[in-house]
């Protein structure tokens, strides 16, 4: 067996409406179904990126506000997931402006040599990396660049 690509991500969320707003209105995902759909409420929502790469790339399942929150600090489990938003720092700066307009928590910004990354938190505290590939960096032919270290990124 060989994995061909990452297919989709599924997250439990405490407040589906808040998460729909974040992933659809702030990050720009296209909602396929869920939440308030017509005459019924579905306690889940599926999204696809504007590229329509596949049937769905993100699924949110509402578990309610009384569900156990993500533990802080070092823990086993997901650290973050990354979303490529472009190929230039201008696109990352534009994303930062949208993030700030929507009062989204910014956790950090890093220069990873091959990518420039902005780290944010979704409404439930899941860490999301928004990144751009740095133009002209040939990480395929120079794999050492992948482990070049992390520096602070000033946007």
Instruction: Please say whether the beta carbons of 126 and 80 come within 8 A.
Output: yes
Regarding the domain with residue range 9-62, which homologous superfamily does it belong to in the CATH classification?
2,3-Dihydroxybiphenyl 1,2-Dioxygenase, domain 1 (3.10.180.10)
Enter the pTM of the model. Answer: 0.91
pLDDT at residue 143 is higher than 90: no
Q: According to CATH, what is the number of the domain 80-152?
A: 3.10.180.10
Backbone angles phi, psi at 87, to 5 degrees: -130, 20
- 127 within 8 A of 82, measured Cβ to Cβ: no
- pLDDT tens, position by position, 31-59: 999 988 777 788 999 999 888 888 899 99
| Structure confidence at residue 8 as a pLDDT band (50, 70, 90) | very high
Determine the pLDDT at residue 83: 96
Longest dimension (CA), the chain: 55
Sequence ranges of the domains in the chain: 9-62, 80-152
* pLDDT at residue 51, rounded to an integer: 84
Residue 131: the pLDDT is 97
The per-residue pLDDT for 62 is 97
| Residues 26, 120 contacting (CB under 8 angstroms) | no
């Amino acid at each position: 067996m060989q994995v061909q690509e990452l297919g989709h991500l599924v997250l439990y969320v405490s407040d589906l409406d808040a998460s729909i707003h974040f992933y659809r209105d702030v990050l720009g995902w296209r909602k396929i179904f869920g939440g308030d759909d017509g005459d019924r409420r579905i306690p889940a929502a599926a999204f696809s990126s504007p590229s329509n790469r596949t049937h769905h790339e993100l699924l949110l399942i509402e578990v309610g506000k009384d569900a156990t929150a993500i533990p802080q600090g070092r823990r086993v489990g997901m650290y973050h997931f990354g979303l490529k938003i472009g190929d230039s720092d201008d696109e990352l700066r534009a994303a930062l402006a949208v993030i700030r307009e929507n009062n989204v928590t910014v956790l950090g910004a890093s220069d990873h040599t091959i990518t420039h990354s902005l780290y944010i938190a979704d409404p439930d505290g899941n860490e999301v990396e928004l990144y751009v590939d740095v133009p002209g960096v040939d990480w395929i032919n120079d794999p050492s660049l992948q482990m070049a270290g992390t520096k602070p990124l000033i946007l």
